[in-house]
Chain A
Amino acid sequence: MKLSGGEILVQFLHDEGVEYLFGYPGGAVLHIYDAIYKQDKVKHILVRHEQGATHAADGYARATGKPGVVLVTSGPGATNAVTGIATAYMDSIPMVVITGQVATQYIGSDAFQEVDAVGITRPCVKHNFLVKRVEDLASTLKKAFYVATTGRPGPVVVDVPKDVTAPNVKIDYEYPQSVTLRSYNPVEKGHPKQIKQAVDIILSAKQPMIYTGGGVVLSAAAAELIEFTHYLGYPITSTLMGLGAYPATDQQFLGMLGMHGTYEANMAMHECDVLIAIGARFDDRVTGDTEKFCPQAKIIHIDIDPSSISKNVKVHVPIVGNVKTVLADINAVMKEKNSQPDKEALGKWWTQIKDWQKEDCLQYDRNSKLIKPQFVLEKLYEVTKGDAYITSDVGQHQMFAAQFYKFDKPRRWINSGGLGTMGFGLPAAMGVQLAFPGAPVACITGEASIQMCIQELSTCMQYMLPIKVVNLNNRYMGMVRQWQEFIYESRYSHSYMDALPDFVKLAEAYGHVGMQITDPKDVEPALKDAFTKYKDRLVFLDFITDQSENVYPMIKTGQGHHEMYLASQRGRGLA
């Protein structure tokens, strides 16, 4: 089959099983767009800004486990995509971003819409390529998908100069079935000796703690993790990125840990004698001050990326490998010997943990005349029966969602954890909704975050995506305001959101349904209407919430897990 570069690109995506291509046209990719026009196998989703394309592809990837695919033009197309690429990189999301480039003979001449896309994206991609010959296009794309989806996943950029996709040069095309990269061989299986050593330490624990992260979701190891945790009866906590991999409604789950983690999870981290870290990377938002981190614990760390091991915290037993494979091996070793943990010690440990749970650290004023953001999340959880796909932006609302929406399944909680990208939620929800057209999808956001990619409301209209935008509108950049209250003696420097639009009218202007909710008693009916009466419409729910609410517990920078500020301390001069 003789095809042009543009046609090869589109045909390859189809052969690779790509369903959706999120993109925005421009000069350098016009040949590719012409090839897209002439086929209907790969569906192109036209966004309103390249950042939206990357977040939408990212949301699609997080919800499905399949790579998200993006097509943008050269220059500003590529630079606008960088935020989304970095977002995916920090959370290890498989993504292939195809950027147009000026024709090869113009590279380096400061041509119109020229930017060194490979250079600009280098620090925030797993790998990137510049394709200089049409003959290399298909094999390079194959490498890009292979690298993006294997090992520790991540975004890969393929920069394609315009002449490489020219319609007048046609070459033989055959889908490359396999790929070899001599320098890239991710380790799958954990070392048996390390596994045996880990099992011995796990079983010897008196006060064990399981700490899981996004790696469990990425490697689809939820079943193995549940088996492991139930077999041992140990308490388990999760990072922001790992939520859903272990059912939040299970009794052994202590909630999220870290800066805004629960009292019981953080205290158990501080007091544990064996820490089993699974697919987590000891991020600073999780560890607090590493000098004070798990002072008595022997640490076992399972991770596919050797560079994650002993990066921030020294670990005692590292196991490099795919979390799913390693957990299955550990489960097998334990079952084979019918090994049992120290049940007596474990009983005492649970008594201690139950005591911590009595703090009721997620308490808030349920009798408030103002809408509490926590209340909205609780009602959303009830109305959707805990079964919705929840995307979020970044800030207080993100933490409230993580605390109050109890995720029982992986890939339901979609947020920018590592980079903390405001503007992520709405476009990510588009990717999720496209992947699962009938499923309830809600975007938890705030009046500050939503305005960072608000233009995508237009995309939602074009493709009739019935997302429910839950806007927790406190007229502040809530998390900034909270830090200013705690650390800067309430000097609210530029965290107040003045001159806000009328979000109801704005939603309506885009052709959607808008509602403003100001009274707590209207929260549940509004949510019910959104998910039933307006099931097939995008509904923008503008909840006017309490401006002074803070996220508790909170560990300030430089403090340890046992040094939390609690809701119960507020107003007592402590926080």
Chain B
Amino acid sequence: MRHIISILLENEAGALSRVAGLFSARGYNIESLTVAPTEDETLSRITLVTRGSDEIIEQITKQLNKLIDVVKLVDLTQGDHIEREMMMIKTRVTGDDRDEVKRLTEIFRGRIIDVTDATYTVELTGSASKLDAFIKALTVPILETVRSGVAGIARGEKSLHP
């Protein structure tokens, strides 16, 4: 099953490689990983998407908790949560396709953020599956795709803090 694990990490050199190294050393997979500082400059927040059986996810969270640089973590998929991912996608569009891609972008509530005679660059935010759906719906050649990876947060009053 797919799990989104949110981690508060000491904002220190090498901390990220401890997390990444743990996954490769123990054979766990990382589907996506995002990392950036938080409002507290001593902390970074990682959102990590992984897949595995309940036993494997339990081991992943235990092993992550064992890392000295991991301050706190939560498996967001265990409760109600919001996930977002941002994508920028550059497409080759000419002739009638230009209107078609513009319409499609509006349907997906995206924005065209750069235009040339032959290309559109579209910005789109949403769940990972929404971004996948947009890519699937495109009928024009894709020149380049860049995705941020998933960021997530719990719904309601619950919050992840040290």
**Would A147 and B68 count as touching, CB distance under 8 A?**
yes
Pair A306/B18 contact, Cβ less than 8 Å: no
Does A118 belong to the interface (CB within 8 Å)?
yes
User: In chain B, residues 50-84, which have Cβ atoms closer than 8 Å to a Cβ of chain A?
Assistant: 55, 58-59, 62-63, 65-66, 68-72
Given A122-B18, A123-B25, A310-B58, 15 further pairs, Cβ under 8 A: A130-B13, A130-B14, A182-B162, A183-B10, A183-B70, A183-B71, A183-B72, A306-B62, A306-B66, A307-B59, A307-B63, A307-B66, A309-B62, A310-B55, A314-B55
Asked whether B14 lies within 8 Å of A118 as measured between CB atoms, the reply is yes
Q: Which residue of B lies closest to A181 (CB)?
A: B68
Binary contact readout A383-422 vs B (1 if CB under 8 angstroms, 0 otherwise): 0000000000000000000000000000000000000000
Of all chain A residues, the one with the shortest Cβ separation from B13 is A130
Q: Which residue of B lies closest to A128 (CB)?
A: B14
The 5 A-B residue pairs with the shortest CB-CB distance in the complex, in nearest-first order: A307-B62, A183-B71, A127-B68, A123-B25, A306-B62
Chain B, interface residues (CB within 8 Å), range? 20 to 34
Q: Mark A298-310, 1 if CB is under 8 A from B, else 0.
A: 0000000111011
Contacts of A311 in B (CB 8 A): 59
A147 proximity list for chain B (CB < 8 A): 68
Report the bound CA distance from A243 to B4 in whole Å.
Answer: 42
Q: Which of A183, A305, A311 has the most CB of B within 10 A?
A: A183
Cβ of B116 within 8 Å of any chain A Cβ, yes or no, is: no
- Docked complex Cα distance between A122 and B21 (Å): 8
Interface flag for A573 (CB, 8 Å): no
Knowing A307-B59, A307-B66 touch, does A182 contact B71 (C-beta < 8 A)?
yes
Known: A182-B162, A183-B70. A123 touches B14 (CB 8 A): no
A123 with B62: CB separation less than 8 A: no
Residue in B closest to A147 when the chains form the complex, CB atoms: B68
Q: Does A184 make an interface contact (CB < 8 A)?
A: yes
Instruction: State in angstroms the CA–CA spacing of A309 and B68 once bound together.
Output: 19
Q: B21 contacts which chain A residues (CB < 8 A)? A: 122-123
Give A291-325 interface residues, CB cut-off 8 Å to B: 305-307, 309-311, 314
Chain B nearest CB, measured from A468 CB (Å)? 39
Interface size on A, residues (CB 8 A): 19
The verdict on A501 contacting chain B, using a C-beta distance below 8 Å, is no
Q: Which residues of A contact B65 (CB under 8 A)?
A: 306-307
CB closest residue in chain A, given B24? A123
From residue 110 to 129 of chain A, which have CB atoms closer than 8 A to chain B?
Answer: 118-119, 122-123, 126-127
* A127 to B72 Cα, complex, angstroms: 17
Chain B positions within 8 Å of A, measured between CB atoms, are 10, 13-14, 17-18, 21, 25, 55, 58-59, 62-63, 65-66, 68-72, 162
Task: Return A157 CB to nearest CB of chain B, in Å.
Answer: 12
What CA separation (Å) do A171 and B120 show in the bound complex?
Answer: 60
Q: Do the beta carbons of B63 and A183 come within 8 Å of each other?
A: no
Q: Could you tell me the distance between the alpha carbons of A414 and B156 in the complex, rounded to whole angstroms? A: 54
Q: How far is the CA of A311 from the CA of B63 in the complex (A)?
A: 10
Bound-state Cα–Cα, A477 to B59, Å? 36
Tell me the complex Cα distance, A311–B66, Å.
14
Q: Which residues of A contact B63 (CB under 8 A)?
A: 307
Shortest distance from the beta carbon of B9 to any chain A beta carbon, whole Å: 9
Taking the nearest CB of chain B, how far is it from the CB of A159, in angstroms? 10
In the assembled complex, 23 residue pairs joining A and B whose CB atoms fall closer than 8 Å, in A order, are: A118-B14, A119-B14, A119-B17, A122-B18, A123-B21, A123-B25, A126-B68, A127-B68, A130-B13, A130-B14, A182-B71, A183-B10, A183-B72, A183-B162, A306-B62, A306-B65, A306-B66, A307-B62, A307-B63, A307-B65, A310-B58, A311-B59, A314-B55
Q: How far is the CB of A132 from chain B (nearest CB, A)?
A: 9
Chain B residues lying within 8 Å of A314, measured Cβ to Cβ, are 55
| Identity of the chain A residue whose Cβ is nearest the Cβ of B68 in the assembled complex | A127
Contact call A183/B18, Cβ cutoff below 8 A: no
Neighbour of A122 across the interface among B10, B17, B66, CB < 8 A: B17
Instruction: Give min CB distance, B8 to chain A, whole Å.
Output: 8
Closest CB in chain B relative to A302 CB, distance in Å:
16
Please indicate the chain A residues that have their CB under 8 angstroms from the CB of B71 in the complex.
Answer: 182-183
Contacts of B25 in A (CB 8 A): 123
Q: State A141–B153 Cα separation when bound (angstroms).
A: 37
Give, as a whole number of angstroms, the nearest-CB distance from B118 to chain A. Answer: 42
- Chain B residue numbers with a CB within 8 Å of A127 are 68
Inside 8 A of B14's CB, which chain A residues have their CB? 118-119, 122, 130
Residues of B within 8 A of A119 (CB): 14, 17
Contact partners of B68 in chain A: CB under 8 A:
126-127, 147, 181, 183-184
Separation of A177 and B59 alpha carbons in the complex (Å): 35
A residues near B66, Cβ cutoff 8 Å:
305-307
Smallest Cβ-Cβ distance to B9: which chain A residue: A183
Chain A 425-467, CB-CB to B under 8 Å as 1, else 0, gives: 0000000000000000000000000000000000000000000
